[in-house]
Structure 1
Amino acid sequence: MECPHCGHSNRTGANFCSHCGQSTANVCPSCGADADADANFCDMCGTSLGSSEPPVVAEPVPQPATVVPTTPSAERRQLTVVFCDVVGSTELSGRLDPEALRDVIRAYQTAAEKVILRYEGHIAQYLGDGLLVYFGYPHAHEDDVHRATRAALGILGALSLLAPEIRERWGVDLEVRIGAHTGHVVVGDMGGDEVRESLAVGDTPNIAARVQDIAEPGSLVITDASYRIVQGFFDCAALGAHALRGVPVPVELHRVLHESSAKTRLDVAATVGLTPLVGREREVGVLRHRWEDVKRGAGHVISFRGEGGIGKSRLLSSLKEHVALDADAWLTESQCSAHHRNTALYPVIELFENTVLGFTREDTPASKRDKLTGLLAQYGFELGEAVPLFGELFAIPPADGATPSDLSPAQRKQRVLEGFVRMLCIRATQQPVLFIMEDLQWADPSTLELLGMMMDQVSAVPFLMALTSRPEFEPPWGQRSYATQVSLTRLPAEDTVDMLSRMTGGKTLPSEVVEQVVAKTDGVPLFVEELLKTVLESDMVEERDGRYELTRPLPALGIPSTLHASLMARLDRLAAVRDVLQLAATVGREFSYQLLRAVSPLDEATLRAHLAELVGAEFLYPRGAPPTATYTFKHALVQDAAYGSLLRSTQQQYHHSIAEALRADSAGDGETEPELLAHHYTEAGRPREALAYWHRAGICANERAATLEAISHLTKAQELINALPSSEEGQTREFDVLTALGPALIASRGYAAPEVKATYTRALDLSEELGDDSSDQFRALAGLWSYYMSRGPLETARKIAEQLLATAQRLGDRTLQLSARAMLADVVYNAGDFEGAVEHGEAGIALGRAATTESETAWGDDGIMCRIWVSWALSRLGHAARARAMSDQAFSLGTAHPSALVRTEAHAYMSGFHRDSREYDVADEHCAELVSLSTEYGFPLFGAIADMHGGWLAAWRGDGDGVARIQAGIDAWRASGSTVAAPAFLGLLADGCAAVGDIQTGLPAVAEAITCSEQTGAMHSIAELHRIRAELLRQCVGEDGEPRVAEAEASFRQAIEFARQQQARAGELRAAIGLCRLWKSVGKEADARALLDDVRGWFAGRLDTQDLQDAHALREALA
């Protein structure tokens, strides 16, 4: 069998040429009918099939030069599998002689083969009277599922025409049923040495066969996996979920009725609303400007060029919407088709039949001829010649008695093309015309010739010709002054984020989803739409309160099934260099020439040539030249597709080679990028090697404050440990991993996160299992202390800290004793024992001075923390100068510390210290730095503290929005599960409310804070909370309309009493000032003077705080 494209001689019955990979079917380029291999003319329409005489309308389409595909022995692919079977074959075999049965089956198979080959499907097996057909292998097309569906409907249509002949000849009724399913398979050679065939392995073929069992005779049933891809292009009837034998879960099925009127993806999308156009303002402006020129009488041609999915059609859709507003405009559009590249003038014929002539299924040849005659008469054609000429093009049989044309095929073609141009130009003299033709890369030569002729004419009439094509299309016409070509580029990241927001109607997406979609889609709008659609239709997110939230940790997003065929089609076009692309995809999105050279089996010259071809095809972007070049995949999804097509075993081999090359290049230490080595060893199935590098990567990430990366690396290490057999070495490694993971979890999710408790509890269990190593137990127990210190109860945290101090003292380890003292200072301060906090903190400071190094725990440097708690406690006790000196020491040490976490904590505590001291400007400076550091290093809880402190400062300056900022910070903090700090933060909210007069928010907040203090034992702010409650009560009136003076006075007295119990002189003074102001307002000046004199006496005339200065001014006012 000779290939009609390259002339190569193939075996008899071959469906595809073994030399060029094209279909061996001899198909008429004009009407699509099948012809014998040696036919010179089509027996249906008379078009030349390769003779020397020119064709009537279309000449053969030149095939582009392609690399000969080399299919590997096996690969992973997404396939649409079609299973077609004869209904009642057993009954037929009983009624027919075997020879007759064979003839019937062969007749049906021949009819089916022609349809399948027309859509470039691959018949994998003839299963008796059944057919197993693949779409997507050995060659992928971007519309394989559509092709499969059209082919299946075509088979049903072909058999309906064949059935009467079979009934008449053999006396039997022949019907088939068809099932189809789309899914992932491994496809490649199967069988022994004598008989080998390419078959797909996986559940996809089995499901297709089971679906076929359910289909009614004469029908096509597809699964939901196929339906989601072709939805809108075909009219279907839902059949509901069906239990299929051997399939664990019910499968949703759909019966395909017929093709819909939709021709493009935008036609389908328009039924539910188009995605908002983003980032194309300049292009929209150009289109509208050109249309205004056309309305003024100046014709123009504008061409949009760009890769598939970049937004060409969507851009023209916006133009159509704009033009539709002009009542006198004529808008017409046409679409070239990948299925009809060899059909002459296909888009023009479709345009005239459906839009201009308005042909319907009910039209007879006579009614079609009448419509055509009316159209031609309208434009002044000589009907005797024109009606037969155009009637031939529209497949309308000539009228009885019509005289055959004596024009040659070339003359008839020329008359037809001139006729089309004439009609369109006459129309443009009557009203402005917008003529759209899309996807010129699939246009047949006659259509391109027609477009060239139109371009010669449009400049003189109000005619806008808008065209689209992909980058591979090279227009056969030259430049014209009235033609504009626009190349569409990818959207920048900010426009992609904007597009996502518009697609969700403004509902917030999780940041993880946004980051992955932006990274994976590379600014291609179609990729953005489909990937987001995949996420929203999955169980990974759910909608709550006007936003989307993750239901579980977000995995790496895979390729949407709607894009898989398109991406594989791109890879298949460069099949000869696909091995290099797959190996490069295994290395990563970006890779160096040197690394690829180290692992590639190709010689250097061949490798460079293959890379150059991939660069030329725009699969890769180069930076520099070999041997120092670096390459980047243009699209992350193309990388995913190339990698995903490899067998798992091949992936593992590649990853192992890459890991070994990386380790050799880094002299065996893997210090530069340990996470890269860890990744490749993991994917290579080498868990022990991977574990060591994940652990090292986590430690490195912690050291540079990359907490999220540290959590990711160490979690992967933990997962590998869990998969390995238990051993003492494994337990030791797990303990080290957990104690590295704990600080990262604290920095990212807060001290009270459940993961913190789980991590340190497991670490403590391991330390006990490994034996009596008290230093290891100390590390684990210290981490567990941080959880209880934040979440409560404080009594549990106190007991753990006392246990740690006892252990450290028994060991005689000064560093551990310093850690324990810092913990105890923290506990007792928060419990309201300020003198105890000074005692433990100063003891810790003394230990730090005696030790050679100060210890660093999960929550910072212990020596710094001791100074912080001493400074805060001294401030509460009324020793302002000593407190300020100690806080300055803490801040100086903290900002010089190499840890970003410690530096951030230093600003957080200093912001709070100066805020509590009413030193607003200094507090503001620290708050601003806190915002910067928490954002830079990804410390969300410190960002929440910055919101609370910054909101309070704003409120005290009279900004009502400050309260909302405080509330936002509290909400973020609460999400971490922390309760011990809640009284202080709720107190900030209530105090801010008092400053701006928001009593309705402030009173419930302070009531909650007081309750929380009592429940958790966190009494450090109890006096301040009662004072704030009193200030709020001062501003409101009771049900009787009178000021709530008595309640306010009682709260001030409670505040003073709590402060005295805690020996908190500063708190006592602040509460006394408030009470005295209240007394002054109601005429109790004598009581106010007496109280102020009593409280101020302890301070011995000092005026070194804002409160002392306020008290002094108030006392003078009372004199």
Structure 2
Amino acid sequence: MTCPRCQHVNRAGARFCEECGAPLPRACNACGGALSPTAKFCPECAQPAGGPAPRQFGSPESYTPKHLAERILTSKAALEGERKQVTVLFADLKGSMELLADRDPEDARKLLDPVLERMMDAVHRYEGTVNQVMGDGIMALFGAPIAQEDHARRACYAALRMHDGVGRYADELRRTHGVDVQIRVGINSGDVVVRSIGSDLHMDYTAVGQTTHLAARMEQLARPGTTLMSGATLRGAEGYIEVKSLGPTPIKGLPEPVEVYEVVGAGTVRTRLQASVSRGLTRFVGRDAEIEQLRRAQEQVSRGRGEIVAVVGEPGVGKSRLFYEFIHSHRTHGWLVLESSSVSYGKAAPWLPLVDLLKGYFKIGDRDDTRTIRAKVTGILLTLDDNLKDSIAPVLWLLDVLPEDHEFQRLDRRARRTVALEAVRRVFLRESVSQPLLVVFEDLHWIDAETQAFLDALVESLPSAPVLLAVNYRPEYQHAWGGKTYYRQLRIDVLPPATAEALLEPLLGDHPSLAPLRRLLVDRTEGNPLFLEESVRALAETHVLVGERGSYRLARDPGAIQVPATVQAILAARIDRLPPDDKRLLQTASVIGKDLPWTLLLAIAELPEDELRRGLGRLQAAEFVYEAKLFPDLEYTFKHALTHEVAYGSLLHDRRRLVHGQLVDAIERIHADRVAEHAERLAHHAFRGELWSAALRYLEQTGTPASQPSIDAVLGGPESPGNLWWRGMHQRALALAMWERAMAPDFGNFAGMVLANFRLGQINHSLGDYERAAVVLAENVAVLDGDLRGQTFGLAGLPSVLSRAWLVLCRAEQGAFEEARALADEAVAIGIAQDHLFSLVVAHAASGGLHTRREQFATAIAALEQGLVLQRVADLAILFPLVAAPLGWAYARAGRHDEGLALLHEAVARAEEMQQAANHALRLVWYAEAQQLAGHADAARRLALQALETARRSGERGHEAYAHQLVGDLASRTGDNDEAGENYRTALALAQRLGMRPLTAALASRLLSPR
């Protein structure tokens, strides 16, 4: 059910929107038509408004193919509570009301249901999951609940198949009922969190970001008969489909236009290598020994003895590229080369690789009609050998062009299968007599049972036939050929570092800025060629690299390189193929880190020791982990760093936090006598476990370690120092910012150091530690010079301006007014020179803040009013309290009480609305003082006490001093000198401790002569 207000997609049956709370329109369960709030019967189909949904589409269990349902239910426990990368598809029938109008409800349903059936058949053909049937449309997921490495491509193919199937049905309806029906489809890719899977296969999930919203909007924007998709989906399907760009398109609910594409048709590309060829292949390096093995096998075949060469390797190591280079070399001159490959959804499509092989042999094109195909097959076979005439009918049957009334069709399916397999085998063996044959079958890990049977039969015939059968597959594929004397296996692995750098050189270029990036990429990908290429592509798409392929330069510090979506999909799908218990063990182990000490595994795995050993043994056999050390303590390690990251990334935040906390307890218990030696690891797990006091304690024990987890791994997502500071969680923010600052030099991360310094300055200013804040902010001011003044480093404002602004506020509190004035002038000048409105607003706010501390209210008002004008022009709501609150106080101090109160009231309310807790105590102090100046004593005291409590709760000691001063002033006005004196003394002690010289002087004066 899509919300009409915010377009959020809600669960079927929801009465109110889960996103915005708006009431949802009622819909008829029978036909999907809109119902009024009081309707008892549907005006479209006359069914009861609360009646049950049609049984045919009542729940996912009723329409999900058995083989998919079994896979989902078998892995149910392991799939629940996971983050998944998916593609979401929405499809609906345009014109369903016209189809149902003036028809008996049952008759109308008979017309509508076949459309839904064809939609769902298309989804299931590519192993997607129909999660909801909504009246005249469906919602489907590809990549969840079971991960698929090509989910974007599958969704696009499903959409094309839908249009084709519904189009043929529409032709029939047009002839028989005079009704025209068309569907429209919308597709988007992103993340979802799978919450639970019911026994009826209904899946509850939470979209991450705009995943489902944007897919629904794509559908709503699509014209009947078309499919629209986002750029996120195109990145996963590029090359495999043909698209037409519709340009940036405004999307309701999104701040920026989105690139939208119309799916025009299927592309000519079928495999990942073909997609690479279309973009331009990288340098072929490091496989000389494997090419030589293929050449030797070829020599044996040339002597009339058939060979099987099996190339085995993990995804991305270059199995297909090896075959490509061999096939397109001079070595295959005079050979007939036939190529085919399995596809990831191919197990549900019998014969597909074999049919492709036959199409290549008979030179059958996509546009050839039935008569042409029959003529080509018949002509080629009879020309090759008259004795093959009995093979014509079985081959035509495999190609689906044999007439229905042919006698071959009268055989039962098992007999047809046996005869057809034998016929194809005879054809290829006869062809090999005329010329040596190189038959290539790729990606056997996805092969269907029928094609496997053909290969098994062909293998038995090889010893006396000049046929080289070249196959490749991933390690999990199993076959029965290993004992053949004519079988040889080539195991290829990732490239060694020097070879990997040689691959990168022509891909990146030789710009001096790229040298550290090359090493970083090789380390991260461990020399996997595909992962290297995809990482470079992702860096170019995110503008970390600028220029063109082969002549890139580094535009900004890459920081922690993210796992590209394509690589993540491959690795997630591989993890999903593990048995549920082994998958959970792998995910839990990933929380420890890449290296896995046995003692820690035992502490968190929640398994008996013997079961844990067996589970680790299975993960070793599947090549996810291996034993790294036996002495002094047993330790395992992830075979690949990227696999570790993907396994960790699939866990939900709550689960990660829990296990990190368990690890802190385990390390403290196991190493109780030498905890200090493990302070670095304890600090990491305490951070991720959100044990903030422990995190700070262990962080203080660490110096600058030689090797640390990446900054991104420690500080990702909403739990960043800036977000925590904003919400008033200053200790947590401080701990994370300290960690970020400590890590940055190790990784040569200049941007990370700048951002960490700024956050430390912000947080320490709020806490009242003005000198510590000033030190790190001054460091930024010193280094952010020249061109660096105009760099944002990922912030909304320029750190060169923001660091000066907060340094101004710190120096003002310390009484260094001249230094602060010079810094304020610089901040404004940089903002003007860079024409950066956000930064200018902050600069004027800081300048005004300085002058309010000097009690130069006319000058302060001029600066703050300019800042407020810019804030409103740029519509920067987030900065309103920063400018409006001190301006309101300045107005009040200047005698403009009504203006001041109005502005402070709005500033306080909007800060609370935005949950801006940082510095809120100071805003309340200003509001209270404005109330007192306006003669509202009761309101002033209430706000002053609230400010004091807020400051204490958030640990903002400087603001607590101001609150005590104001409470003292209010008490003094009522003649309560005891309360006044007590508050002044408390404030004075705080001000002296914090180095707040102007406030110290003011308080000393009050104590000498109380008001």
Please state which band the TM-score falls in when normalised by the shorter chain.
Answer: 0.5 to 0.7
Other-structure match for 1:364? 369
Q: Does the 8 Å contact 1:341/1:442 carry over to 2? A: yes
Q: Deviations over 1:961-1018 (max 9, x none)?
A: xxxxxxxxxxxxxxxxxxxxxxxxxxxxxxxxxxxxxxxxxxxxxxxxxxxxxxxxxx
Q: Does the 8 Å contact 1:590/1:632 carry over to 2? A: yes
1:514 to 494, 518, 530: 518
Q: Does the 8 Å contact 1:21/1:69 carry over to 2? A: no
2:394 to 389, 393, 399: 389
In 1, distance between residues paired with 2:657 and 2:232?
A: 29
In 1, distance between residues paired with 2:345 and 2:755?
A: 59
Q: Does the 8 Å contact 1:67/1:573 carry over to 2? A: no
Change (3 A) 1:633 1:304: same
Matches within 5 A, 1:535-614: 535-543=539-547, 548-574=552-578, 575-614=580-619
Helix, strand or coil: the match of 2:420?
helix
Matches within 5 A, 1:654-803: 654-667=659-672, 670-697=675-702, 699-701=703-705, 706=706, 723=724
Structure 2: runs of 5+ lacking an equivalent: 1-54, 785-1011
Change (3 A) 1:787 1:96: closer
Other-structure match for 1:345? 351
Change (3 A) 1:168 1:200: farther
Other-structure match for 2:207? 201
**Cα distance, 1:315 vs. partner?**
0.5
Change (3 A) 1:712 1:670: farther
Q: Does the 8 Å contact 1:593/1:626 carry over to 2? A: no
Matches within 5 A, 1:317-332: 317-323=324-330, 327-332=333-338
Residue 248 of structure 1 pairs with residue 255 of structure 2: yes
Change (3 A) 1:690 1:550: farther
In 1, distance between residues paired with 2:549 and 2:233?
A: 33
Residue 266 of structure 1 pairs with residue 273 of structure 2: yes
1:334 to 330, 340, 353: 340
Q: Does the 8 Å contact 1:141/1:566 carry over to 2? A: yes
Q: Deviations over 1:440-487 (max 9, x none)?
A: 223334433333343344444443221112212222235333331111
Change (3 A) 1:98 1:613: same
Q: Does the 8 Å contact 1:438/1:467 carry over to 2? A: yes
**Cα distance, 1:103 vs. partner?**
3.0
Helix, strand or coil: the match of 1:236?
strand
Q: Does the 8 Å contact 1:757/1:784 carry over to 2? A: no
2:183 aligned partner, one-letter code? V
Q: Deviations over 1:578-628 (max 9, x none)?
A: 222222111111111211222333343443333333223222112467994
**Cα distance, 1:739 vs. partner?**
15
Other-structure match for 2:468? 464
Other-structure match for 1:449? 453
2:140 to 133, 139, 144: 133
In 2, distance between residues paired with 1:126 and 1:440?
A: 35
Structure 1: runs of 5+ lacking an equivalent: 1-9, 26-62, 789-1119
Other-structure match for 1:851? none
Which stretch shows the higher mean deviation, 650-659 or 442-451? 442-451
2:495 to 487, 491, 504: 491
1:185 to 168, 192, 199: 192
In 2, distance between residues paired with 1:141 and 1:777?
A: 48
Question: TM-score, normalising length from structure 1?
Answer: 0.57
Q: Does the 8 Å contact 1:756/1:787 carry over to 2? A: no
**Cα distance, 1:363 vs. partner?**
3.3
Change (3 A) 1:390 1:673: same
Other-structure match for 1:22? 67
Q: Does the 8 Å contact 2:343/2:443 carry over to 1? A: yes
2:425 to 418, 421, 425: 421
Change (3 A) 1:106 1:398: closer
In 2, distance between residues paired with 1:590 and 1:255?
A: 46
User: Matched residues, percent identical?
Assistant: 28
Q: Deviations over 1:920-971 (max 9, x none)?
A: xxxxxxxxxxxxxxxxxxxxxxxxxxxxxxxxxxxxxxxxxxxxxxxxxxxx
1:151 aligned partner, one-letter code? A
1:500 to 486, 504, 508: 504
**Cα distance, 1:377 vs. partner?**
0.4
In 2, distance between residues paired with 1:721 and 1:181?
A: 30
Matches within 5 A, 1:18-57: 22-23=67-68
In 1, distance between residues paired with 2:755 and 2:184?
A: 59
Q: Does the 8 Å contact 1:15/1:23 carry over to 2? A: no
Question: TM-score, normalising length from structure 2?
Answer: 0.63
In 1, distance between residues paired with 2:566 and 2:440?
A: 26
Q: Deviations over 1:890-924 (max 9, x none)?
A: xxxxxxxxxxxxxxxxxxxxxxxxxxxxxxxxxxx
Other-structure match for 1:289? 296
Matches within 5 A, 1:846-925: none
In 2, distance between residues paired with 1:758 and 1:359?
A: 65
Q: Does the 8 Å contact 2:128/2:140 carry over to 1? A: yes
Other-structure match for 1:143? 150
Q: Does the 8 Å contact 2:249/2:259 carry over to 1? A: yes
**Cα distance, 1:84 vs. partner?**
0.4
Q: Does the 8 Å contact 2:394/2:423 carry over to 1? A: no
**Cα distance, 1:535 vs. partner?**
1.5
Helix, strand or coil: the match of 1:183?
strand
Instruction: Tell me the C-alpha RMSD between the 2 structures.
Output: 4.8
**Cα distance, 1:653 vs. partner?**
1.8
Q: Does the 8 Å contact 1:508/1:548 carry over to 2? A: no
Change (3 A) 1:301 1:625: same
Other-structure match for 2:640? 635
In 2, distance between residues paired with 1:460 and 1:114?
A: 45
In 2, distance between residues paired with 1:420 and 1:746?
A: 62
**Cα distance, 1:785 vs. partner?**
15
In 2, distance between residues paired with 1:732 and 1:183?
A: 29
Q: Deviations over 1:705-758 (max 9, x none)?
A: x59999999999x9859955999x989999x9799979x9799899xx997998
2:252 aligned partner, one-letter code? R
Change (3 A) 1:759 1:121: closer
Other-structure match for 2:861? none
Other-structure match for 1:925? none
Other-structure match for 2:438? 434
2:323 aligned partner, one-letter code? L
In 2, distance between residues paired with 1:107 and 1:282?
A: 56
Q: Deviations over 1:414-439 (max 9, x none)?
A: 44333323332333332332221112
**Cα distance, 1:538 vs. partner?**
1.2
Change (3 A) 1:672 1:284: same
Q: Does the 8 Å contact 1:188/1:200 carry over to 2? A: yes
In 2, distance between residues paired with 1:756 and 1:161?
A: 59
In 1, distance between residues paired with 2:402 and 2:202?
A: 49
Change (3 A) 1:274 1:479: same
In 2, distance between residues paired with 1:172 and 1:759?
A: 65
1:213 to 197, 214, 220: 220
Change (3 A) 1:725 1:688: farther
Helix, strand or coil: the match of 1:270?
helix
Q: Deviations over 1:1010-1052 (max 9, x none)?
A: xxxxxxxxxxxxxxxxxxxxxxxxxxxxxxxxxxxxxxxxxxx
**Cα distance, 1:384 vs. partner?**
6.0
In 2, distance between residues paired with 1:98 and 1:18?
A: 22
